[in-house]
Structure 1
Amino acid sequence: MKFSANLGFLWADRPLPDAIRAAAKAGFDAVECHWPYAVPAAEVKAALNETGLPMLGLNTVRGDVEAGENGLAALPGREADARASIDEAIAYGRDIGAGKVHVMAGFAEGPEAEAVFLANLRHACAAAAPHGMSILIEPLNRYDAPGYFLTTTDQARGLIEAAGAPNLKLMFDCYHVQLMEGDLTHRLQALLPLIGHIQFASVPDRGAPDHGEVSFAHVFEVIEGLGWMAPLGAEYKPTGPTDDSLGWLASFR
């Protein structure tokens, strides 16, 4: 198996270029991030070139975080802001060689929000396609993100089918899916053609994958058996220094 370090949580106490170097030293095969925009893209690209790690993807901005926003793309009346955030993410991703952009929906509900989200996703897919990039959507669980527009893989499937864009894919986060739906391995099998990236963390505490209610040794074996070749994203929250949480990495390889 190959693994990607999500630098939104791992080595989050370090500047992003230094976190990339730490991930390489620890033996990860790739990196991904949340919101890198405060760091000049040239500095991130230099660290990626130095280490040889690919940057798999990044998120669109959350919006007004102090006001409680967690994404813009499904918010009626915020279409201009949402599309600006999408264009920003695609441009930054292009500059650092990232292949995927996660478009964050935000807190919303109802048919109008769905229509706005679909329109923004079509914009994102059209803007990303010339750069060979994919757009990801990710269901978030209702415990960590109550009120988030996108919460289940069935809902995500419907949106992907409705959008009709070949570069719109599902971010399958095992942590969120287990909390909302369970049945991880069957869902992975059923949704495989729609999946653009897979992430993981222990359930229910979102820690390293060596404990909790999910046997990731089994889940990873199933994923490997499905022919999945891309790195799996370690998006968990260490309880102490990241380096002290990495005992799972060698064993799960």
Structure 2
Amino acid sequence: MKLSANLGFLWRELPLPEAIRAAKRAGFDAVECHFPFDVPTDEARAALDETGLPMLGLNTRPGEDGEFGLAALPDREADARAAIEQALDYAKATGCRAVHVMAGKPDDSARADAAFRANLSHACELAGNTTILIEPINTRDVPGYHLATIEQAAEIVSALGYPNLKIMADCYHLQIMGGDLLRRIEKHLPMIGHVQIAAVPSRGRPDEGELNYPWIAAALRDMGYEGYFGAEYRPDGPTEDSLGWMGMLQSR
């Protein structure tokens, strides 16, 4: 079992290079982040090289005033593509493997879908060896988010047909948006590029709540998933005090 620390939620009080080092000390196998752009790439790369941890992913910037992404906003193509290019540049400079292109919360869903697909095509064509991820996000936490279900994400991936376009399957969001988690992941497994975990409904540490992650992780391994499990949960105190769950997954 390979575990990745999402530094958007874990060790948030530390500068990114120090958070990477903290993840290494805690026993994680990789890291991922949200918006690292204020940290010079050479500082992030130095911490990654020092620890030997791969950086699995980062997000495009979310925009302003709660936009939660730009790629599905009609008439914002220039902003969306600048955000994509910024994220890809950062990823390539740090050796980060994937970029999550955030869709946003558009008003016009038909025009938004066209914009999203065009911007994803642009991202995939620029990405080279970098994977482009899209993530279904639940509409309870983020009302109006353009991409809400794994089925919608799978249709986009299939329609666009780029081999470097994959789904980020966040179990927290997927369970809220439809349940039947394991069967829905299994159905779309060839399109899934990364899996994330957190408790449902609290988004706390993954050894609480309604999802049995040891069982889910073992089942996904049996299905052939060979990737990492990204810990994207909100600790209820210091991150170090929330890590007791790691042993139950690392033994799988």
Q: TM (normalized to structure 1)?
A: 0.97
SS in 2 for 1:199: strand
Residues 97-126 of structure 1, C-alpha deviations (whole Å, 9 max, x = no match): 011000000001421100000000000000
Is residue 35 from structure 1 mapped to residue 32 from structure 2 by the alignment? no
- Distance (whole Å) between structure 2 residues aligned to residue 2 and residue 183 of structure 1: 24
Q: Which residue of the partner structure matches residue 112 of structure 1?
A: 111
Residues 166-218 of structure 1, C-alpha deviations (whole Å, 9 max, x = no match): 11100000000000111111112111100010001000000011010111111
Q: Which residue of the partner structure matches residue 244 of structure 2?
A: 247
- Distance (whole Å) between structure 2 residues aligned to residue 243 and residue 149 of structure 1: 34
- Distance (whole Å) between structure 1 residues aligned to residue 104 and residue 66 of structure 2: 10
Higher mean C-alpha displacement, 9-18 vs 219-228: 219-228
- Distance (whole Å) between structure 2 residues aligned to residue 245 and residue 224 of structure 1: 25
SS in 2 for 1:246: helix
The residue identity in structure 1 corresponding to 2:241 is D
**Deviation of 1:227 (Å):** 2.0
Contact 2:214 2:248 in 1 (8 A): no
The residue identity in structure 1 corresponding to 2:4 is S
Higher mean C-alpha displacement, 104-113 vs 6-15: 104-113
Is residue 143 from structure 1 mapped to residue 140 from structure 2 by the alignment? yes
SS in 1 for 2:172: helix
Is residue 224 from structure 1 mapped to residue 221 from structure 2 by the alignment? yes
How many percent of aligned residue pairs carry the same amino acid? Answer: 57
Q: Which residue of the partner structure matches residue 197 of structure 1?
A: 194
Is residue 95 from structure 1 mapped to residue 88 from structure 2 by the alignment? no
The residue identity in structure 2 corresponding to 1:207 is G
**Residues 1-253 of structure 1 mapped to structure 2, 5 A cutoff:** 1-64=1-64, 67-108=65-106, 109-129=108-128, 132-253=129-250
**Deviation of 1:133 (Å):** 0.7
Contact 2:98 2:130 in 1 (8 A): yes
Higher mean C-alpha displacement, 226-235 vs 132-141: 226-235
The residue identity in structure 2 corresponding to 1:53 is L
| Structure 2, unaligned runs of 5 or more | none
SS in 2 for 1:119: helix
SS in 2 for 1:205: coil
SS in 1 for 2:188: helix
SS in 2 for 1:31: strand
Q: TM (normalized to structure 2)?
A: 0.97
The residue identity in structure 2 corresponding to 1:135 is I
- Distance (whole Å) between structure 1 residues aligned to residue 152 and residue 26 of structure 2: 36
The residue identity in structure 1 corresponding to 2:116 is F
Displaced runs of 4+ in structure 1, greater than 4 A?
Answer: none
C-alpha RMSD of matched pairs (Å): 0.7
The residue identity in structure 2 corresponding to 1:116 is A
Residues 221-243 of structure 1, C-alpha deviations (whole Å, 9 max, x = no match): 11111222221100000000000
The residue identity in structure 1 corresponding to 2:119 is N
- Distance (whole Å) between structure 2 residues aligned to residue 162 and residue 81 of structure 1: 24
Contact 2:9 2:233 in 1 (8 A): yes
- Distance (whole Å) between structure 1 residues aligned to residue 140 and residue 186 of structure 2: 25
The residue identity in structure 1 corresponding to 2:207 is D
Contact 2:41 2:93 in 1 (8 A): yes
